[in-house]
Amino acid sequence: AGPCIMSAPGAAAAGGGRSAAAAEWGGFEDNMQGGGSAVIDMENMDDTSGSSFEDMGEMHQRMKEEEEEEAEGEAGAADEEDGEFLGMKGLRGQLGRQVADQMWQVGKRQASRAFSLYANIDILRPYFDVEPVQVRARLLESMIPVKMINFPQKIAGELYGPLMLVFTLVAILLHGMKTSDTIIREGTLMGTAIGTCFGYWLGVSSFIYFLAYLCNAQITMVQMLSLLGYGLFGHCITLFVTYNIHFHSLFYIFWLGVGGLSTLRMVAVLVSRTVGHTQRLILCGTLAALHMLFLLYLHFAYHKVVEGILDTLEGPNMPPFQRVARDIPIVSSAVLNTTAKAVALTL
Amino acid sequence: FAGLADVSISEDIPVEGEITVPVGSRSPDEDYSTLDEPVRDTIMRDLKAVGKKFVHVMYPKKSSALLRDWDLWGPLVLCVSLALMLQGGSADSKDDGGPQFAEVFVIIWFGAVVITLNSKLLGGTISFFQSLCVLGYCVLPLTVAMLVCRLVLLAGSGTVSFVIRLIVVVAMFGWSTLASTAFLADSQPPNRKALVVYPIFLFYFVISWMILTFTPQ
């Protein structure tokens, strides 16, 4: 190591001297320093890539295994002798422990490598890079339709807000189903709520993205997910209010007002990113229809269609709204009658 | 290095010294001696660790015992007991006992996994199992609330019992959320605490709602 260490300061000095002169050619400095000294710098021989560690680890393990085989061979030969047997057993026990330790290390290393390869959530990390103020601003913006539709509107590709809104919708839906004593056969309340909300968010986003591809609209999948997710904010507000205050006129006002505003916003953003009247009509008509109909569906399918205040404290006085009522004509016609009455009363 | 060049050691002076490495107090044999202890000792040690964590949840101070050595025994026991107590709470008890148990189980574990992933994606420094451990242990106040609700419902199910149950569940829900926030929010960047607290709030809200709307048949 002596000559190498002596050469390193020399090379550095030479490199420094040359670098002062060759300051304009920044890229040449490294090459000059390496080429200046004739002796190879031992410090650069240390290859710190991962593979060399693994090779060393495997070599080490092979050495241990060979030692163990030797020890086993010797122990097998010395089986009959008691005095030597005890000594061999002690040695074998210790080697055995070391081998077990080594195998545990290798196994753990391999498992962590596989885990970091397949369970890498870092690909989703950029979509969750938000501040609370940004989330609040975007929530409020989702209710305000933009006026400028000739210029493509910016959509933030963020997934935290939409995901939280979908979960909030699930919670509100669960609340609505519980207070209306919805009975689900062959399924669970929670499963239905999660399936409905996530199915709508992912399914309708994919469908509209496909339509956007057909209609040459400029929007990516993440942006579509984000747009539709924030559009569910209106749904959350409407359902939260109307599951607790059971007036049908109130629901229709909220449906048109709040639902309509959030739909208008989504439609305006999409229109600003699409060219051509027919394409705009197809895309926005589909989205508006699906969005408004979903709110209607959520209100009527998961909620008691009976006028008046529900009293869940006193237990079920009236027959609960059965979801499997299709084959019972009496219940379904009763439901139809009450719906028709409700609609007639409010119009 | 120039000064050392003229140091020379004559060969007739013996070199002396101690080469032995001081042995630590724990010999390798002690690591494996837990196999020889009676089963009662092992179980009592684990139970004491779980009990200590329960105490930490009920009085949430800034201690790192929950985080440092995490274990999932406590959450499993709490989850199973909560799911068992929530069974049989629907109108038709013919085949609804099954889904209730699976529902609660899946909600708790799936919800805890989602919250953990969310906090990691937001830049948290806590590990996956540590977060699961904290969220699971903080279900303890809600399990206590469920117990109290069942006892209150044995007495009757009128408006008074509903009010009592509401107060108890709301109080325990607040306690759970505060306890888990105390442990988890420290591992986040300071301006994003609200983003992590909201899903925890939603999670315990759903569990509290299931407890509150439980009516035995």
* Record: contact A190-B213, CB cut-off 8 A: no
Burial class (CB in 10 A: 0-12, 13-18, 19+), A159: middle
Domain boundaries in chain A? 95-129, 147-312
pLDDT confidence of residue A337: 64
Average pLDDT of the segment spanning B195-201? 90
B residues 20-79 lying closer than 8 A (beta carbon) to A: 28, 32
**Mean pLDDT (whole number) for B84-107:** 66
Q: Point out the least confidently predicted range of A3-17, A136-150, A196-210.
A: A3-17
Is A101's pLDDT higher than 60?
Answer: yes
Query: Where does the pLDDT of residue A295 fall: very low under 50, low under 70, confident under 90, or very high at 90 and above?
Result: very high
pTM given for the model: 0.65
Asked which of A87-96, A242-251, A289-298, B96-105 is least confident by mean pLDDT, the reply is B96-105
In chain B, where are the structural domains located?
71-86+97-211
Residue B161, pLDDT > 60, answer yes
pLDDT at B142: 93
List CB contacts (< 8 A) between A175 and chain B: 209
The reply to whether B92 touches chain A by the CB within 8 Å rule is yes
Which residues of chain A make contact with B156, given a CB cutoff of 8 A?
Answer: none
Residue A111 has pLDDT above 70, yes or no: yes
Nearest CB to A190 within list B1, B107, B215: B107
Which of A97, A102, A160, A197 has the most B C-beta neighbours within 10 Å, making it the best mutation to test the interface with B? A160
Dihedral sign (CA B106, B107, B108, B111) = positive
pLDDT of A345 higher than 70: no
Cβ atoms of A117 and A109 closer than 8 Å? no
* A62 φψ region: left (φ > 0), alpha (ψ -120 to 50), beta (else): alpha
Mutual angle of helices A132-141 and B193-212, in 10-degree steps: 70
How close does chain A come to B195, measured CA to CA in Å? 6
Tokens at A50, concatenated: 């991962």
Q: Per-residue confidence at A339, pLDDT binned at 50, 70, 90?
A: low
**A66-80, B32-46, B121-135: lowest mean pLDDT where?**
A66-80
Nearest CA in chain B to A192: B103
pLDDT in tens, B33-85: 677 788 888 888 888 888 888 888 887 676 666 677 888 888 999 999 998 88
Whether residues A313 and B159 touch (CB distance < 8 A) is answered with: yes
**How far is Cα A257 from Cα A245, in angstroms, rounded to an integer?**
17
Q: Is the pLDDT at A40 greater than 50, yes or no?
A: no
- Between CA B81 and CA B145 the distance in angstroms is 12
Partner residue opposite A178 with nearest CB, options B102, B120, B209: B209
Chain A closest-CA separation from residue B205 CA (Å): 8
Please report the pLDDT score of residue A57 as a whole number.
52
pLDDT at site A235: 93
The more confident residue out of B203 and A81 is B203
Q: Does the pLDDT value for residue A3 go beyond 60?
A: no
Lowest mean pLDDT among A117-131, A315-329, B43-57: A315-329
- Tell me which chain A residues have a C-beta less than 8 angstroms from the C-beta of B27: none
Reported as a pLDDT band with limits 50, 70 and 90, residue B125 is confident
Residues of A near B (Cβ–Cβ under 8 Å) read 5-6, 94, 97, 121, 124-125, 128, 130-132, 135, 160, 163-164, 167-168, 171, 174-175, 178-179, 181, 183, 185, 187-191, 312-313, 315-316, 320
Q: What pLDDT does A74 receive?
A: 53
Report the pLDDT value the prediction gives residue A206, as an integer from 0 to 100: 95
The band of A11, judged by pLDDT with boundaries at 50, 70 and 90, is very low
- Mean local confidence (pLDDT), B103-129: 86
| Distance separating alpha carbons of residues A231 and A113, to the nearest angstrom | 40
Q: Which of A20-24, A93-97, A298-302, B137-141 has the lowest mean pLDDT?
A: A20-24
Q: What is the predicted pLDDT for the residue at A174? A: 82
- Reported confidence tier of residue A27, pLDDT bands at 50, 70, 90: very low
What pLDDT is recorded for position A291? 94
Neighbour tally for B66: CB within 10 Å: 24
Q: Are residues A315 and B118, on separate chains, in Cβ contact within 8 Å? A: no
Most confident of A43-52, A71-80, B95-104, B181-190: B181-190
Flag whether pLDDT at A122 surpasses 90. Answer: no
Q: Which residue of B has its CA nearest to A122?
A: B121
The full DSSP string for A87-149 is HHHHHHHHHHHHHHHHHHHHHHHHHHHHHHHHS-GGGGGGGG---HHHHHHHHHHTTS--S--
Cβ contacts (< 8 Å) between B159 and chain A: which residues?
Answer: 313
More confident residue, B107 or A321: B107
At A257 the pLDDT is: 93
Enumerate the residues of chain A whose CB falls inside 8 A of the CB of residue B216. Answer: none
What is the structure's pLDDT at B182?
83
Any idea which residue has 């977060």 for tokens? B131
N-to-C CA span, chain A: 96
Quick one: pLDDT band at residue A263, thresholds 50, 70, 90? very high
- Through-space distance between the first and last CA atoms of chain B, rounded to whole angstroms: 90
Q: What is the mean pLDDT of chain A?
A: 73
In Å, how far is B99's CA from the nearest CA of chain A? 6
Query: In terms of CA atoms, which chain A residue is nearest residue B122?
Result: A128
- Report CA-CA distances (Å) from A326 to A184, A321, A322, A338: 13, 11, 9, 16
Higher pLDDT pick, A5 / A64? A64
Closest chain B CA to residue A171: B206
Task: Name the region of A181 (left: φ>0; alpha: ψ -120 to 50; beta: rest).
Answer: left
Top-ranked range on mean pLDDT: pick from A308-312, A324-328, A329-333, B141-145: B141-145
Asked if residue A16 has pLDDT above 50, the reply is: no
- Least Cα separation, residue B92 to chain A (angstroms): 9
Higher pLDDT, A181 or A190: A190
Q: Do A187 and B122 touch (CB under 8 A)?
A: no
Please, which contacts does A206-210 make with residues 24 or more away whose CB atoms are closer than 8 Å?
A207/A286, A207/A290, A208/A283, A208/A286, A208/A287, A208/A290
What's residue A285's pLDDT? 94
Task: Give me the pLDDT at residue A147, please.
Answer: 85
The pLDDT of residue A182 is 63
At residue B206, the pLDDT reads 87
Task: Kindly report which listed range (A81-85, A217-221, B60-64, B107-111) carries the lowest average pLDDT score.
Answer: A81-85
Task: Identify which has the larger pLDDT, A39 or A139.
Answer: A139
Residue A283, pLDDT score: 93
Contact flag A320-B158 (C-beta cutoff 8 Å) = no
